[in-house]
Amino acid sequence: MGQNITRKIIADHLISGDMVPGAEIALKIDQTLTQDATGTMACLQFEAIGLPRVKTELSVSYVDHNTLQMGFRNPDDHRYLRTMAAKYGIVFSPAGTGICHQLHLENFARPGKTLIGSDSHTPTAGGVGSLAMGAGGLSVALAMAGEAYFISMPKVVKVNLTGRLKGWAAGKDVILKLLGMLTVKGGVGKVFEFAGPGVQTLTVPERATITNMGAELGATTSIFPSDEQTRRFFACMGREDEWVELLPNTDAEYDEVVEIDLSALEPLVAQPHMPDRVCTVRELAGLKVDQAAIGSCTNSSYADLKTTALALNGKKTHAETDLLISPGSKQVVKMLARENLIEPMLDAGARLLECTCGPCIGMGGSPTSAGVSVRTFNRNFEGRSGTQDGQVYLASAQTAVNLALAGEFTDPAQWGEAPARVELPQSAPSIRDLFIFPPADGADVTVLMGPNIVPLSKFEAMPDSFAVKVLLKVEDNITTDHILPAGAQITALRSNIPAISEYIFSRVDEGFVARIKKEGQGVILGGENYGQGSSREHAALGPRHLGVKAVIVKSLARIHRANLVNFGILPLLLVNPADYDKLAEGDSLTILASAIPAGQTAAITTANGRRIDVTNDLTEKELEIIKAGGLLNYVRGQQA
């Protein structure tokens, strides 16, 4: 069949496996990225492998999450990452340079390359035709060591775009429309490939917004062609020599097709507390807005912030609405400054924050108690903002700035004539000199490790059988934010698994940690789409450290499933979802791990002899990894 872009890139990087949807494939990885919240653990894992140098074409270590330097923990982590990068051949991006995905798009992403990153929004690079996927830190560490990256061959969904955006509709509204159509689990096992005549009307910043937030669909990744729009973007970034055309064959075939008419879109918003609770902005007219926040890796580009500045020019934000603006990179700031677009934002009353993730990861900028915050971010999970009862709505920069001016949701028909869409200039000021490139030989570099950085725990192999209790029962759509909350206090402990484990499920059930410490081990019972959201492997590492042996759920999110396998937690799926209601917290179970075949049905028994049928979608190799006690143990065994 005619090749689509996704299959072309996979075919070029295929090490083993068949390109049949659902089959396990191994891919060669060209590039990796890490960020500081997940990067310290990934670097510790790479060091544990014992190689003198990374083996990828490019690996970049970004500092953009834990930038609040309250005490020694975060600065020590940054120093560790800087010295680690110099020793092992990694490019280092210091705190304040920008957000990893915006920086990678501007400086390093390339069409046709494979990229995995220890952040779930790594698919941002799909905006320029890179096959970019979020992964757990251990998977990234192994890719840095030259190992293959294993995934299930995804289905490829053609998102056929027709027409062109009109009025106040924006790229963000394209992905919000998809989320409203397909839900947060509608993309599991799929790549969304954008095609059709509407594609050429979207700029790279708009495309990157769409691929970034494709992660909320649960997708493996999302990708756009590399075409004339992409070439113009690379030319602006001073990288036209790195551009290559990458298009689907004219007779390309797809597993599914979704149709979206860009001309029919209007400003949309995702309501609390899920990105798929989508409605039109006009439907919420009259709802007071306490805060607006523009930025994050989704909408912090030059185009987003120029649009914001022009809308604010000569105006003031509503007296009862705070406006926060987080530029995506120092390059974005320099581009705005060159056009005198900083002052309009400041004069309007906006707060200009550092070029970091900031409020999106709960690092400052929290809304008031029960406050309504309209954010251009990608997630609005309960409590993620830092305010447990904060009411977070997700929208485009165009929508957020207009609501900040009005102080409430209004009908976009009242916003006046929409301005012309922002085009990139012919050239952007380079900030390449702000990256720290590694020396040719790092043998003499000393890696500096602070007291908050705790070496990796060594996990024991899984026993043949174990008797455990259900120590926590949770509902559908449990996110990694539920499992391990974000925010300044907790995120500063990402290098210290014993310390951060004290917060596992702390916002769901304060008694969980005490219960599992008392029992020594246990299992978690969950509903649909367990573990959606961030790629933070700490949401698997922490439970494993505490003694979680298995999770029994109705369905799992892709990256969290991989993290469970990587750290030796057995992921079991209920054959009969009704059995979820028959199990309760405190129930005793016997799990005969040695009798659980890969990809097949088995049974666990309760204390009163009741049989619960479970299955799994594990490969033979994944089951071996779990039984070995995790991927590091497995790799060491293979090397031995």
Catalytically annotated residues: 64-65, 119, 379, 534, 536
How far apart are the C-alpha atoms of 436 and 563, rounded to whole Å?
30
* Alpha-carbon distances of 75 from 63, 67, 80, 452, 486, rounded to whole Å: 10, 8, 9, 10, 18
With 0-12 / 13-18 / 19 or more C-beta atoms within 10 angstroms meaning exposed / middle / buried, residue 35 is buried
Which tokens hold the place of 494? 């990402």
How far apart are the C-alpha atoms of 116 and 57, rounded to whole Å?
12
How far apart are the C-alpha atoms of 264 and 160, rounded to whole Å?
14
With 0-12 / 13-18 / 19 or more C-beta atoms within 10 angstroms meaning exposed / middle / buried, residue 406 is middle
Phi, psi of 165 (to 5 degrees): -60, 140
CB atoms within 10 A of CB 269: 26
CB atoms within 10 A of CB 14: 17
How far apart are the C-alpha atoms of 62 and 36, rounded to whole Å?
6
Q: Are 30 and 439 in contact (CB under 8 A)?
A: no
Instruction: Count the helices and strands in the chain (H runs, E runs).
Output: 21, 26
3-class secondary-structure state, position 186? coil
Residue listed under structure tokens 């026993």: 463
The dihedral sign for the CA sequence 83, 86, 90, 96: positive
How far apart are the C-alpha atoms of 113 and 323, rounded to whole Å?
37
How far apart are the C-alpha atoms of 215 and 378, rounded to whole Å?
9
DSSP-based helix, strand, coil % in the chain, nearest 5: 35, 20, 45
- Cα 615 vs. chain centroid, distance in angstroms? 27
Q: Could you tell me which of 35, 5, 561, 31 has the C-alpha nearest to residue 297?
A: 35
Q: Could you tell me which of 340, 343, 344, 365 has the C-alpha nearest to residue 354?
A: 365
How far apart are the C-alpha atoms of 475 and 484, rounded to whole Å?
16
Which tokens hold the place of 71? 């005490």
β-strands 351-352, 322-325 pairing: parallel
Residue 558, CB-side half-sphere exposure with 13 Å CA sphere: 25
